[in-house]
Amino acid sequence: MALGDYVVRIRIIDANGGVVTQEQNVRFVGAHVCNFSTWVLEREATLLLEGQRRRTCSECGTIEKEAIPKLEIDFANDSRYGLVNFTVVHAQTLEPIVGASIFISTPYDGEGTIFTNENGIISQVLPVGSIPITIFADGMIARSIVITVNAGEQDIQQIGLSERSPVEGVLTHRVMTLEEIIEAGIDINAPGNNHVFEYSLEINFKATLDILSLTALFNDFGHFVGFGSCNNDNDSNGGD
């Protein structure tokens, strides 16, 4: 076959006996040493993502691609960046999660995904400031949070993932007695303040963390009148 460009006709017979004909342009160049063009940048490298460049052979059209390493920042001597140490664990058992993925998006340094090691840990240099991240793991509910990156090196508080929601809350309410209203410092002469309702929200993040409780007080008109601190346990001390 002489060297040059050809049109190749391909007949494809399917399982039912149908015939489909396709044409494809090919170049027969024989044995040769590729004569590549200069590199063309396809994607710039960032802190979080490798770049990529390509070059093409002018003889046969072969395309060669090459990865460009991620950018490296000397955070110790550049106050615009900090090294962040992430730890991802199971929210209930606190066992490390291997291979958890953390998707990070930065304002000017690109975006990308990093993965935790066998100890549930991964470190990444990031620009100083507020950075949104989303954490995923097989069978777990994804979480999206915003971290604050400071110059230097820092450890981010353990990130817990779970098969169920890591936050459970219980909302209760009751009518306060007149004595409790006065003790809370609420003006009983103000309209609507003779009847005050105490709403308590108890949030449990995980078993090893303290329970966060929030108590808010509202009057007859639904107006917020303050935060409460009344203790209704049976063993609480009574008033004088």
Domain termination residue (choose one: 114, 135, 161):
161
Could you give the C-alpha distances from 20 to 13, 24, 26, in angstroms and in order?
Answer: 6, 13, 19
- Specify the pLDDT at position 120: 97
* Residue % of the chain over a pLDDT of 70: 80
Q: In what order do the strands lie in the sheet with 212-219?
A: 168-175, 196-204, 212-219, 224-227
- For residues 96 and 149, state if they share a domain: yes
How far, in Å, CA of 39 to CA of 16, rounded?
47
| Burial of 74: CB neighbours in 10 Å, binned 0-12, 13-18, 19+ | exposed
What are 195-225's pLDDT values in tens digits? 888 888 776 655 444 445 556 667 777 777 6
Task: Find residue 132's DSSP bridge partners.
Answer: 146
Answer yes or no: is pLDDT of 155 > 90. yes
Query: What would the DSSP string read from start to end of 68-79?
Result: EPPP---GGG-T
- For residues 175 and 152, state if they share a domain: no
- For residues 113 and 95, state if they share a domain: yes
Q: Is residue 239 part of a domain?
A: no
Q: Of 84-88, 92-96, 196-200, 227-231, where does mean pLDDT reach its minimum?
A: 227-231
- Specify the pLDDT at position 56: 94
SS3 sequence of 6-23: EEEEEEEECCCCCEEEEE
- For residues 150 and 172, state if they share a domain: no
Q: How confident is the model at residue 230 (pLDDT cuts 50, 70, 90)?
A: very low
- Eight-state DSSP code of residue 35: -
How far, in Å, CA of 228 to CA of 4, rounded?
87
Count of structural domains within the chain: 3
- For residues 64 and 87, state if they share a domain: no
How far, in Å, CA of 66 to CA of 51, rounded?
9
The better pLDDT of the pair 200, 28 is held by 200
- Specify the pLDDT at position 167: 63
- For residues 60 and 111, state if they share a domain: no
Q: Is residue 14 part of a domain?
A: yes
Pairs from 92-96 (Cβ < 8 Å, separation ≥ 24): 92/162, 92/206, 92/207, 94/158, 94/160, 94/206, 94/208, 95/120, 96/120, 96/121
- For residues 152 and 109, state if they share a domain: yes
Q: Is residue 178 part of a domain?
A: yes
- For residues 153 and 182, state if they share a domain: no
- Domain holding 115: CATH number? 2.60.40.10
Range of the domain at 15: 4-68
Q: Is residue 12 part of a domain?
A: yes
- Specify the pLDDT at position 211: 44
Q: Is residue 13 part of a domain?
A: yes
- For residues 92 and 128, state if they share a domain: yes
Q: Is the pTM of this model over 0.85?
A: no
- For residues 64 and 10, state if they share a domain: yes
- For residues 80 and 157, state if they share a domain: yes
Number of neighbouring beta carbons within 10 Å of residue 176: 18
Q: Is the separation of the CB atoms in 12 and 20 below 8 Å?
A: yes
Residue written as tokens 């052979």? 57
- For residues 131 and 147, state if they share a domain: yes
